Structure 1
Amino acid sequence: MTETIDVVEFQLGAEHYAMDIQIAREIVEMMPITPLPRAPHYLAGIINLRGEITNIINLKTLLGLPGSQIGESQKIVVLIPEATGGANVGIIVDDVHSVIQVHSTDIEKMSDGISSSIGSFVKGIIKGGSDDTQKAKNLVIWIDILKVIGNLEEHLNT
């Protein structure tokens, strides 16, 4: 029997990504973000989410992906505080598709030959689609949000 993993599938640009469902507290509609002076380039600003000040990270900018314009289908995935060292953090994604169950047999691990700068943040590639013609279109990059956030904390503390 193969193991199944629950992930949230979301979109950044034209590509599909996934993250572990256990670290997502909630998904909220885009709302006005207050920019902070002298903030790092990836920090879009802060929001007041039901009385809690929440830091908002632009995931596209953080990962070095093109285009960081605010769009009408964008969402904020709010992470659980335990995953972010106790801070309230949300990440901007272009769209959230669904929560999917992935069989471990449908996950391809990244090879060591890939650049270490991105390879360390990618848990694997999720293969999808019902037939071979759809598989190329339905590859989902499973990113390790905990490593991405942890890497930010390392840079901020140095």
Structure 2
Amino acid sequence: MAGTIDVVEFELGGERYALDINLAREIVEMMPITPIPRAPAYISGVINLRGEITNIMNLNTLLGLPDKDVRENQKIIVLVPEAAKGNNVGIIVDDVSSVRQVAEADIEHIGAGISSEFSQFVKGIIKVSAEDAEKKRKDLIIWLDMEKVIADLGSGSKNNPGAGIVHESD
């Protein structure tokens, strides 16, 4: 019997993406973000989310995608602290489409032959059912490995990119 995987589907720059549902703590409406001076470009700032300081990252910048103007339906997906080494982190997305259950048979894993800086952060490509594709939506969803994306920040690969993250103990 083939298993299923639960993901949160969201949009960035007109493309469809997903992340593991167990990494998402909650989804909140966009709110004012306080910028952090001298933070890396991918750190939009911090918010006070029910008494907790939460770092907000711009996923477009983080993934090297073109950053567009603020969109009306933007949301913040707040990740579980375990996904971000114990830190409170949220990512800005254009919109959250749905929570989706995906059959493992509908996931195409990227082969070793396809290599780019971005592909190391992709768990696979989700093929969408025919009725969804008939709604004139793109029929592929890029399944991101958010744990790898966040872990890469701490590697210091981009002039100490973890420098902008505010820790609760600070």
TM-score, with structure 2 as normaliser: 0.87
Partner of 1:42: 42
Deviating above 3 A after TM superposition, structure 1's stretches of 4 or more consecutive aligned residues are 131-136
For residues 85 and 77 of structure 1, the distance between their equivalents in structure 2, rounded to whole angstroms, comes to: 16
Q: Does 1:13 align with 2:13?
A: yes
Q: Is the 8 A contact 1:61 1:68 kept in 2?
A: no
CA contact (8 A) 1:58 1:92 kept: yes
Offset of 1:10 from its aligned partner? 0.2
Which residue does 1:137 correspond to in 2?
Answer: 138
Count of residues in correspondence between the two structures: 158
Separation in structure 1 between the aligned mates of residue 67 and residue 46 of structure 2, nearest angstrom: 20
Structure 2: runs of 5 or more not aligned? 164-170
Distance, in Å, in 1 between the alignment partners of 2:66 and 2:138 is 20
**How far 1:111 moved relative to its partner?**
1.7
Distance apart, 1:96 and its partner CA: 0.2
Q: Which residue of 2 aligns with 1:125?
A: 125
Cα distance in 2 for partners of 1:106, 1:150 equals 27
CA RMSD of aligned residues (A): 2.0
Flag the 1:49–1:107 CA change in 2: closer, same or farther, 3 A: same
What per-residue deviation string (whole Å, max 9, x for no partner) do you get for residues 95-148 of structure 1?
Answer: 000100000000001122222411210000000032696498220000000000
Q: What TM-score does the superposition give when structure 1 sets the normalisation length?
A: 0.93
Deviations 1:44-71 (A, max 9, x none): 0000001111000000011111124221
Extract unaligned runs of 5+ from structure 1: none
Q: Which deviates further from its counterpart, 76-85 or 130-139?
A: 130-139
The alignment-based identity, stated in percent, is 63
Contact map agreement 1:58 1:68 (CA 8 A) in 2? no
